[in-house]
Amino acid sequence: MKQNTVAPASRASSQNRTHSSSESQIPQGDERDRATAYRALLPAILTAFAAALVLRLLYLWEYSFDPTWTLSILDQKYNADIARKLLESGPPEGPWFRPPGYPIFLAIVRAITGDGFWGVRIIQAIIGAASAALVAVLAGRVFPAPAAWIAGLAMAAYGPLIVSDAEVLSPVLVIFLNTLMLLAIIETRRTGALGWPLIAGLSAGLSTIVRPDVLPFLAAACVIFLLQRRWQPLAVFAMTAALTILPITLDNLLRGREPVLISTNGGVNFWIGNNPQADGLSVNLPEKTTWSGGWEDYREIAEAQSGTGQTHTSAASHFFRKGIASYRRQPGIMFRLLAAKFYYFGHGLEVLNSRDDYASGYYSHIAGALLWARGIYFPFGIVLPMALVSLLLCWRSIPQVNWFATYLFCYWVTISLFFVAGRFRLPVVPVCIVLIAGAAALLLAKRSARTWPLYLLPVLLLASNYRYAGIWQPGRPAQYHFMAGTALENSGKPDDAIPHLRKAVELDPNLGDAALFLADALRTKNDAAGAEAIYRNLLARDPNNSSILCWYGEVVSLQGRFGEARTLFQKSLAIHPKQFDANMNLGVLLLQEGDLATAREHLRTADAIRPHPAAKLILAKFAIEEGNLAEARRLYEEAIRIDPGNPRPHRALAALLSQLGDANGARAALAQASALE
């Protein structure tokens, strides 16, 4: 009987020691113990950093020889434009439409390195390498020491991260900040020192300013601290995060005149991902089939739909209400869409958003080897299923994986509630890699007997890599030629752009954006007939696309068919009354036809939507004809402020100042115009 009672106790004691040591090989003693622990991890940390930096710099070297190196479209263009505006004239008017964290970072970097691409990309390569080092630390602090080596090197060589770190986009900051936040939370649990929740709160707050997807996890972390009755860490973490976010909220309130926590784009994004026509992957408003200008005119769309004036905040609420109403009116369609988005998040495909990651393999051997879609969507199609299995393997033996599970769940739900793109889920990659590395280290050390979840791996791999018609499939050559052609066109090289764009359309006739850029390049080369043929084909597919109607009207006008052009511009405005290009073009056309009153109305509308030097020059002439010389002067000065390198407003201002008797001002303006010509 004595032996029977002692033996189980021995086994229990042995199991407790195993669980305690498998929680980490790092001693949980005083500061000297922790310093020793970090020194023990130093080789893995430095190796991960060096490997990640070398791979990223080699990728940049390959990338720099390609035309797409200078490509700046969609979100990248938005970030670059806002950063430039911050440096030149300060924040845009109103509250922030998108989170300002990354544009502020970009503005700081470009203030130091200049307006090129090498500076920001090298700094982001260093940040990406630092993230790999942090992942090594995180794995080494939670799991046995070999996990640090596995996780750090896997993070260093993760293909989509290498590609993403080179783009003018926010994931590079979010990944670094979220990984630091998770490490600080783990250390808070282990040490009790209040410096760690301070770091966690600061990282969480900064990450929220860059992209608010982390907010649900931030709330969940507070609840966990609350349930654990860890009052001091809870207070420090929550207060630090709140104080970090507070300056942006105050800026929105004081400068933007609206109570906005961070940004106002949440409502639009929710409607994009939760309307009956949504597919869970595309990023277009139902009211617009292209995103061109979408971030500028969402308020006007809300006003047209509601019939009342809208602030930025009320417009965001308008789109939130529309999305929620979709679930009430068509619950079957909407809940199937929601289920599809949950699946898309876990699918191995890197869904394009700003650009196609798979196309990077066209010019980079590194990207081609570390990111591909040939039978298996590598690497996410392997990493996520392995991470889920690893989570089950470690669930009982490593208490800290509860934090990783919470983080993964919060991100999965948050992204799925809007719409899915490959770069939006990149922040879960570090957690997935740590889980895989930790489970591998435990299995190698034979510290985990829970091997039954391994039987789930084939099923999860199959689900994550299953191809079916409902999900977008990468077309690397077509996407590459599209991006190369777009980059060359943006660089003022339409002759070089046209062959690439023709090839893109030939390889993928459904690649509508490639056709649009091809038409624009042909129009630049004065091939109006070729551009018209493309617009006609696109309109046959989408007859109510206000943007294409407007561009079609432009090429028709170039061919002297002014009556037809007027009809196209009017039809475009009937669909979307606040479109800048259509108002501007129609105003100029009516001016030529002598309908001055209507022309002035459209030009004023265009200038109110997007202040433009050409519109201001024309409106100034109207003001002069009415004898309102002060208004004309104001318009000329605004035109100069918007486009200081254009000699026309300087020369017009000189003539007006001479008429007003300001000889010195007229001479100065004329001298400036002559210097610019």
Picking from 368, 353, 336, the residue whose alpha carbon sits closest to that of residue 426 is 353
pLDDT of residue 36: 80
Task: Tell me the pLDDT tens digit for each residue of 611-631.
Answer: 888 888 888 888 888 888 888
Helix (H/G/I), strand (E/B), else coil: 312 = helix
pLDDT of residue 295: 54
Using CA atoms, how far residue 233 sits from 185, 197, 223, 589, in Å, is 9, 6, 12, 66
| Cβ-Cβ contacts under 8 Å for 622 (sequence gap 6 or more) | 596, 600
Picking from 45, 24, 21, the residue whose alpha carbon sits closest to that of residue 34 is 24
Q: Which amino acid makes up residue 565?
A: A
d(CA 216, CA 220): 6
d(CA 348, CA 28): 38
Q: Where are the domains positioned within the chain? A: 9-263+348-465
Q: Tell me phi and psi for residue 255, to 5 degrees.
A: -90, -45
Task: Tell me the pLDDT tens digit for each residue of 332-370.
Answer: 999 999 999 999 999 999 988 777 899 899 899 999 999
Cis ω before 160 (30° cut-off from 0): no
Mean pLDDT, contiguous 10-residue spans, the chain (677 residues)? 38 40 41 75 96 98 92 84 90 90 96 91 98 97 94 98 96 98 91 88 97 96 92 95 97 92 92 90 68 61 82 91 94 94 94 85 93 92 96 89 96 95 96 96 77 87 84 75 86 87 87 82 86 88 85 88 91 85 88 86 85 85 85 86 84 85 84 81
Confirm if 107 and 83 have CB atoms less than 8 A apart: yes
pLDDT of residue 396: 83
| Cβ-Cβ contacts under 8 Å for 625 (sequence gap 6 or more) | none
Burial class (CB in 10 A: 0-12, 13-18, 19+), 417: middle
Model pTM?
A: 0.82
pLDDT of residue 17: 40
Confirm if 633 and 617 have CB atoms less than 8 A apart: no
pLDDT of residue 671: 85
Picking from 262, 268, 278, the residue whose alpha carbon sits closest to that of residue 299 is 268
d(CA 434, CA 283): 31
d(CA 451, CA 677): 76
d(CA 223, CA 409): 15
Q: Which amino acid makes up residue 571?
A: K
Helix (H/G/I), strand (E/B), else coil: 374 = strand
pLDDT of residue 447: 67
Is residue 23 within a helix (H) or strand (E), and if so which, with residue range? helix 2-23
Task: Tell me the pLDDT tens digit for each residue of 32-61.
Answer: 666 787 888 999 999 999 999 999 999 999
Helix (H/G/I), strand (E/B), else coil: 44 = helix
Helix (H/G/I), strand (E/B), else coil: 317 = helix
State the sign of the Cα–Cα–Cα–Cα dihedral 519, 423, 171, 64. negative
